[in-house]
Amino acid sequence: MRTLFRRLGYVLRHSRRDADLREEIETHRALRQEALERAGMETQEAVHESRRALGSVTLAVEDVRDVWMLRVIDATWHDVRAAFRGLQKSPAFSFVAIATLALGIGANTGLFSIFNSLMLRPLPVRDPGTLVLLTGGSWTYPIWEEIRRYDAQLFDGAFAWAEERFDLSQGGVSELVDGAYVSGALFDVLGVSGFRGRMLTPEDDADAPDGPVAVISHRFWQKHFGGTDDVLGRQLTLQRVPFTVVGIMPPGFFGPDVGRTADVMIPFAAEPLIRRRESALGERSMWWVEVMVRLQPGQSIEQATAALRGVQPQIRYETLPKWPEEMLARYLDTPFTLVPATTGKSDLRGRFETPLRAMVVAVGLVLLVACANIASLLLARALARRRELSVRLALGASRWRIARLLLAESLMVATAGAALGLLFAKWSSALLVRQLATWRSAVFLDLTFDWRVLGFTALLACASAIIAGVAPVLGVKSIAPNDALKDVGRGIAGDRRFAVRGTLVVAQIAVSLVLLVAAGLFLRTFVSLTRVPLGFVPEDVVVVALNLQPSTVPRQERGVLTERLREAVTAVPGVRSAAVSVMTPVSGSGWNNWVGDSPSPPRDRNQMTWINAITPGWFTTMGIPLLSGRDFEPGDRTGGGAVAIVNETFAARFLLGQPPIGQTVRLGAPGGGTPYVIVGLARDAVYRSPREGMVPTIYLPLAQREQLGATLALTARAVPGQRATVERGVAAALTRVDPAIAFTFRTFDQLVDATVTQERLVALLSTFFGGLALLLAGIGLYGVVARAVEARRTEIGIRVALGAAPAGIVRLVLRRIGLLIAAGFTIGIGLGLWAAAAVQTMLFQLDARDPTTFAIAAIVLVSVGMVAAWVPARRAARLDPATVLREG
């Protein structure tokens, strides 16, 4: 090891060492000369004699260098320098090769860094390997309280948290920040200590003596407080409740959720201050809490699960919800299960795993196409250098030495490509993550390049260097030392080297076609999703997400408040009509129940219907036509007969084609179904997402709800082109009615967009990859044709001289290329058909073997291929025979 360091030291300072040695040897010589003179020799003679005895100084220096540098290192260094000089000499080649690879490697690294931070990177906390998550959805707070009683006994600590978005504003339009309710033990169990101030502790789980406290993320401190030093002790308004900032979390820590940042964390104990009488802390059927535990040293996950199941009966019995018997049995029996949580918990993972994997495959294919291109370019260069290489062979260089020279070149290109690729990756991955964000969730991923990403890039660079380098090495195998003596200037049509490049082109075309087909399929999926008829008219509708929680109006009077808000909004200039609903279509959330008089949910999903509660005028505002019957009226309120309006799909599924008006339907209830009399039939409209299409929906009058939740949607239809003015007016009107309520404006564009994030992302990426592959294949094809024309210059010149027509020459060149395209094309179609099944689930209303898409992709590819081939072919046809023949 020490020897290695000394070697390194030598390499770094070797020019000084060489100088030292030369001086040393000169001293040696001088001393010898003196000795000779003392022995009586003439000075002149002594100088000669001592020089002669010395031998060649250079040789000695070289020998010494051999001692220090292993011969291989020295030779490699020489190769690298030679390769660098070679690349410098042909800047165009170098530029194309490096740029291609930079795009290929960059796209791979960018995607991988997302994959890494989402799937692979451990949480930035102490010993993340021993963290485990209680899986199977969220839990109720009472369940967590029970589990907490056993945390010291069964585990090495446990904590709970619940995601929440907090409103920072004092009133009016909401200013939302991602945050979480947490149990005080979270920081201690994770081993996270504060950057400034203190973190939350188990003491914060009890009532706070000094008022409610909050800790904030380092990022939020920078963004919201401008990174000022006096932030500790400052006030932060969350949901209209003042909190005191007591600490700043360390940079890079955003809580146990991956893909989402918790910029503000407050104790669960503060939740009743915010939700007041609607606090969920005591609710036994509100599933909103996540639980994570740390294993004891040496405890396996199976042991921990077994230990937890040991106390499961107690935990379950203590927390029984008010449910029908059958459901309680299931509640008691469902076993607790722990899963590893080294990488934290993430909702994004489930949503994006499949598309991300598909894209990783796609981008890998792009890199292969890029490598094929570089291989092809390098091969062309190697063949152009045939004379030089065969001279080297003739002078005794080993074939391995020549191969190394060529590999060094591809390695240089790969390294430069990887370095540029990292820059591209940095930019592209941030861009992609921004694409993931929707109105529902700001996506945050830590995309710093860690050793995994850098290692991955290095691996890619090496792999590309080898893949790209092998072809030229195979190509030069056929070079014989005596080639240099023959005339290699005259090309012959049946050049064997051409075959290697031909294979590369076929592969490129095949892979590009597959990628183009994929791009086509995903694009069409995305487009058809955005073109699904929604069933309502989203233009000019202003959606206001209301939160009545901060209002002082008691819960029972929310109906009245809602009505006042609706009236106030209707009076705003530019508003044609306004209505309130519990659910907003395409917002992603839903409310469902089963139809019929069964006391518990049936197994058959087809017995379920979606529900919305609305005020009169909602259909008009949304632009959903009523096909028969009537809309709700102010008279449909509590005390009156329960009424409902159903949509076409509901009528078709549950009313068996009979005229719906006047019929009675029952909606599931533990007591055996609540009856509703149908008074109207509405046209179908999308409920949750365009992908689900039209689903059975039943509408109930808002005024007949006994309890109203705090979050409601107010929809207003504006006069076209006046959205901005209307929004300002609506905001003022709402604040006038109740200054405390919180609200946020949405548009249906935003809502619809959020339902197709995944498809948009995939379409975007696959189009980019498809385009890139197409471009690369085009360049590859062009290179091959240009090279072939170059090799056959003399032959073509003779043909032209003998009277061949330009069109004939073009045909001559293209015939060969046509074969290559056809071969690649056939293989590509085969590959595409074979791989189709894998992407079927990601498509919408489209067969993965859709002939139209295949045809379009094929036409695009063939046209690009023909253009790429035609340009050099055309140039060949214009060759001046006189010039060519004189050259020969």
Partner 1 sequence: MGLTNTPSDLLPGTLELLILKALARGPLHGYAIVEHLRVTSGDVLRIGESALYPALQRLLLNGWAKAAWGTSENNRRARYYTLTPSGRRQLTAERAEFDRMVHAIHRVLQAT
Please report where in the chains the tokens 């959606």 appear, as a residue: 543
C-alpha count within 13 angstroms, C-beta hemisphere, residue 665: 29
Least Å from the CB of residue 64 to partner 1: 5
Q: Which is nearer to partner 1, 1 or 656 (CB)?
A: 1
C-alpha count within 13 angstroms, C-beta hemisphere, residue 888: 16
Please report where in the chains the tokens 């309890």 appear, as a residue: 707
Rounded CA separation 31/509 (Å)? 73
Q: Which is nearer to partner 1, 64 or 119 (CB)?
A: 64
Q: Which is nearer to partner 1, 22 or 452 (CB)?
A: 22
Q: Is there a contact between 765 and 361 (Cβ–Cβ < 8 Å)?
A: no
Rounded CA separation 245/232 (Å)? 5
Burial pattern 854-866, b for ≥16 Cβ within 10 A else e, equals: bebbbebbbebbb
Least Å from the CB of residue 44 to partner 1: 18
Least Å from the CB of residue 79 to partner 1: 24
Rounded CA separation 188/130 (Å)? 14
Least Å from the CB of residue 32 to partner 1: 7
Please name the amino acid found at residue 159. Answer: F
Least Å from the CB of residue 25 to partner 1: 6
3-class SS of residue 646: strand
Least Å from the CB of residue 13 to partner 1: 13
Q: Which is nearer to partner 1, 50 or 647 (CB)?
A: 50
- Residue 288 — φ and ψ, nearest 5°? -145, 0
- The CA dihedral of 562, 287, 604, 606, to the nearest 10 degrees, is 30
The H-or-E segment that residue 242 falls in is strand 241-248
- The CA dihedral of 325, 327, 328, 331, to the nearest 10 degrees, is 170
Least Å from the CB of residue 6 to partner 1: 6
Q: Mark out the alpha helices in 477-534 (DSSP H runs).
A: 496-530
> Cβ–Cβ contacts within 10 Å for residue 44, how many?
8
Q: Which is nearer to partner 1, 54 or 856 (CB)?
A: 54
Least Å from the CB of residue 42 to partner 1: 18
Q: Which is nearer to partner 1, 59 or 92 (CB)?
A: 59
The first and second tokens of residue 861, run together, are: 């590819």
Least Å from the CB of residue 71 to partner 1: 13
Least Å from the CB of residue 62 to partner 1: 10
Q: Which is nearer to partner 1, 50 or 512 (CB)?
A: 50
User: Any residues with CB less than 8 A from the CB of 560 and at least 6 apart, and which?
Assistant: 553
Least Å from the CB of residue 67 to partner 1: 4
User: Any residues with CB less than 8 A from the CB of 815 and at least 6 apart, and which?
Assistant: none
**Distance, first Cα to last Cα, the chain:** 60
Please report where in the chains the tokens 């009077």 appear, as a residue: 557
The first and second tokens of residue 516, run together, are: 């183009």
Q: Which is nearer to partner 1, 37 or 450 (CB)?
A: 37
Q: Is there a contact between 388 and 62 (Cβ–Cβ < 8 Å)?
A: no
Least Å from the CB of residue 24 to partner 1: 5
3-class SS of residue 878: coil
Q: Which is nearer to partner 1, 27 or 201 (CB)?
A: 27
Q: Which is nearer to partner 1, 68 or 323 (CB)?
A: 68
Q: Which is nearer to partner 1, 38 or 85 (CB)?
A: 38
Q: Which is nearer to partner 1, 25 or 474 (CB)?
A: 25
Least Å from the CB of residue 63 to partner 1: 5
C-alpha distances out from residue 612 to 591, 705, 709, Å: 7, 11, 13
Q: Which is nearer to partner 1, 27 or 334 (CB)?
A: 27
Give the gyration radius of the chain's Cα atoms.
Answer: 37
Quick one: how far is CA 799 from the chain centroid?
A: 55
DSSP state string for 296-307: PTT--HHHHHHH
Q: Is there a contact between 254 and 126 (Cβ–Cβ < 8 Å)?
A: no
- Contact residues toward partner 1 (CB under 8 A) are 2-3, 6-7, 10, 20-21, 23-25, 27-28, 30-32, 34-35, 52-56, 59-60, 63-64, 66-68
